[in-house]
Amino acid sequence: MFNSLSDRLTATFKNLRGKGRLTEADVDGTVREIRRALLDADVAVPVVREFTAAVKERALAETVSQSLNPGQQVVKIVNEELVTILGGETRRITMAKYGPTVIMLAGLQGAGKTTLAGKLAKHFKAQGHTPLLVACDLQRPNAVKQLQINGERAGVPVYAPHPGVSSEFEEATGDPVVVARNGVSEARQKQFDIVIVDTAGRLGVDTELMKQARDIRDAIKPQEVFFVIDAMIGQDAVNTALAFQEGVEFTGVVLSKLDGDARGGAALSVASVTGKPVMFASTGESLDDFEVFHPDRMASRILDMGDILTLIEQAERSWDKGEAERMAQKFVDREDFTLDDFLAQMQQIKKMGSLKKMLAMMPGAAISRQQLEQFDDRQMDRIEAMIRSMTPHERVAPKIINGSRRARIATGSGVSVSELNQMLERFGEAQKMMKKLAQGGGMPGMPGGARRPAKGAAKGGNKKKQQKFGNPAKAAQAAQEAANKKAQAPSGAAFGQGIPKDFDPSALNLPKGFDKFLGK
């Protein structure tokens, strides 16, 4: 979503690198480029003016001009101002003290309210809550059916006493206000602790839409009213948000379709203009493509600083602790890394979501933006098909995979032999790296990794350094003592201890006939 804005800002800051002191002309030029980047990203003009004025005022301060690295100081200022216009800090849901917490969704038709209702329900269920979905959109064709499908996918019940309309030629007959009121009563009786009310939208802001939304709000008295806005809406986002703020008085904003290729100005405008925080962000079609909106993390993404915290949270939610412990034990036991292990690790990564999105959260992702765009997440599916086309023995011992086996595996997985060869070659490199890590050698090419043996270790092994004496008499005495110790040492045992002559094997309670392996 913010790719173009991120690229423009990153290019602007490159001009500040290496400068020991910033002049007023440098600051003016930087602020001018920031202004152009924000306007190109469809950020509202009043927001751009306020933002650039704050950046310029702080950048011209004496503390910046006297700092050792003024370029980094300007980046820090821009980051802090971005956090401010995005809402300042993360805000959590206001929970009801008694009874269920009621959340009402409002917005234009097509903004993604019904899909968001399913995502919210799954999000709260994962946190241990018991949500209930209420279908109050009775005028959009099949809106009730869509909500029921989303509820089934999320594993959450749906209160839908009225089926709504099935085509645009039917006239809506149900009363959404009554459905909303009865839905909250149903949740209170059956002890659901969260109620998510999906309301109808319009193609544009009109009086009928606002009246219906206001009536539903007055009937159910929700703790939260979320204004759902399409992040691809552009400059019209501000006008729409102001209209809903006046008509419904929403408490928070939810950005949908953040995975689109639009310029994303809505996200930077709505929170600043309305004064209401962005609560959540929808980043895809799946019910799992949903995250809490953190202004500081979003600012870091825009400035290409990455979002490692969100990446860690996703890993903690989806990673199988049992599988992680199993792999850790394999490292301790120095067992070989097999194709079965490779497949298991790949499946763990797939649970976290799109690999392309995860790579985009890494710092400096803008440098390899073109390679990221060309990356195909389906490559992991092809690798999985190759491994599953192998026999159990081939997965454990891939060295036995000869030409005929490769042809069979490639045919079974629907790939070419060259693709299979490339996968096996990459796996061989991963296997070597894992073996190196298990031996404590570190990762090759990384600081502190691939430690070299000490001098003399390769030639002389672990031989003790012989002590030297300047006095010939002492040297002769030390040599004699060493010879006496060597003569007294027992021989014939691996650990330097011989078998006593009076040793009785029967005292060890060994299996019958085992004493013949002990020798005499």
* Tokens coding 28: 């003016």
Q: Is the pLDDT of residue 149 over 90?
A: yes
Predicted local distance difference test score (pLDDT) of residue 494: 42
Q: Is 107 annotated as a binding residue?
A: yes
Per DSSP, the residues of 483-505 read HHHHHHS--S-TTS-PPPTT--G
Give the mean model confidence (pLDDT) for residues 283-300.
82
- Residue with the bigger pLDDT between 254 and 499: it is 254
Q: Is 256 annotated as a binding residue?
A: yes
Q: Is 351 annotated as a binding residue?
A: no
Q: Is 276 annotated as a binding residue?
A: no
- Residue with the bigger pLDDT between 191 and 506: it is 191
Q: Is 114 annotated as a binding residue?
A: yes
Q: Is 257 annotated as a binding residue?
A: yes
Q: Is the pLDDT of residue 282 over 90?
A: no
Other CB atoms within a 10 A radius of the CB of residue 350 amount to 15
CA 369 to chain centre: 17
Q: Is the pLDDT of residue 407 over 80?
A: yes
Q: Is 202 annotated as a binding residue?
A: yes
Predicted local distance difference test score (pLDDT) of residue 377: 67
Predicted local distance difference test score (pLDDT) of residue 459: 45
Q: CA–CA distance from 225 to each of 121, 159, 215, 437 (Å)?
A: 15, 19, 13, 51
Which tens digits make up the pLDDT trace of 253-270?
A: 888 887 765 566 766 788
Predicted local distance difference test score (pLDDT) of residue 481: 74
Average pLDDT, the chain: 76
* Tokens coding 251: 């408490």
Q: Is 198 annotated as a binding residue?
A: yes
Q: Is the pLDDT of residue 444 over 50?
A: no
CATH of 314-438, one of 3.50.50.60, 1.10.260.30, 3.40.50.10490, 3.40.50.300: 1.10.260.30
Predicted local distance difference test score (pLDDT) of residue 47: 85
Residues of the chain with CATH 1.20.120.140: 3-85
Q: Is 479 annotated as a binding residue?
A: no
- Residue with the bigger pLDDT between 433 and 253: it is 253
Strand order of the β-sheet with 278-282 is 158-159, 131-135, 194-198, 101-106, 224-230, 252-256, 278-282, 290-292
Q: Is the pLDDT of residue 427 over 70?
A: yes
Q: Tell me how far apart the alpha carbons of residues 110 and 146 are, in angstroms, rounded to a whole number.
A: 13
**Yes or no: domain 3-85 corresponds to CATH 3.30.2130.10:** no
Burial of 196 (0-12, 13-18, 19+ CB in 10 A): buried
Q: Is 212 annotated as a binding residue?
A: no
Q: Is 112 annotated as a binding residue?
A: yes
Q: Are strands 194-198 and 158-159 parallel, antiparallel or unpaired?
A: unpaired
The CATH H-level superfamily of 101-292 is P-loop containing nucleotide triphosphate hydrolases (3.40.50.300)
Which tens digits make up the pLDDT trace of 369-386?
A: 555 566 666 778 888 899
Q: Is 259 annotated as a binding residue?
A: yes
What values do phi and psi take at 312, rounded to 5?
A: -65, -40
Give the mean model confidence (pLDDT) for residues 430-456.
57
Predicted local distance difference test score (pLDDT) of residue 132: 94
Q: Is the pLDDT of residue 461 over 60?
A: no
DSSP character at residue 41? T
Which tens digits make up the pLDDT trace of 165-219?
A: 887 777 777 889 999 999 999 999 999 999 999 998 877 777 887 888 889 999 9
Name the residue type at position 202. Answer: R
Count of residues for the chain?
A: 520
Q: Is the pLDDT of residue 443 over 60?
A: no
The share of the chain scoring above pLDDT 70, in percent, equals 69
Q: Of 111, 401, 460, 91, nearest to 276 (Cα)? A: 91
Residues of the chain with CATH 3.40.50.300: 101-292
Q: Is 438 annotated as a binding residue?
A: no
Predicted local distance difference test score (pLDDT) of residue 152: 92
Which tens digits make up the pLDDT trace of 344-362?
A: 877 777 777 666 666 666 6
- Residue with the bigger pLDDT between 267 and 13: it is 13
Residues of the chain with CATH 1.10.260.30: 314-438
Which tens digits make up the pLDDT trace of 58-73?
A: 887 756 555 557 677 7
8 A C-beta contact, residue 91 and residue 277 = yes
Q: Is the pLDDT of residue 456 over 60?
A: no
Q: Is 5 annotated as a binding residue?
A: no
User: How many Å is the Cα radius of gyration of the chain?
Assistant: 33
Q: Is 183 annotated as a binding residue?
A: no
8 A C-beta contact, residue 268 and residue 47 = yes
Which tens digits make up the pLDDT trace of 25-69?
A: 888 888 888 888 888 777 888 888 888 888 888 887 756 555 557
Q: Is 113 annotated as a binding residue?
A: yes
8 A C-beta contact, residue 33 and residue 27 = no
Q: Is the pLDDT of residue 435 over 80?
A: no
CA dihedral 13, 14, 19, 25 (to 10 degrees): -50
Residues 6 or more apart whose CB falls under 8 angstroms from that of 156 comprise 118, 121, 122, 125, 131, 132, 133
Q: Are strands 252-256 and 224-230 parallel, antiparallel or unpaired?
A: parallel
8 A C-beta contact, residue 174 and residue 180 = no
Q: Is 99 annotated as a binding residue?
A: no
Predicted local distance difference test score (pLDDT) of residue 197: 92
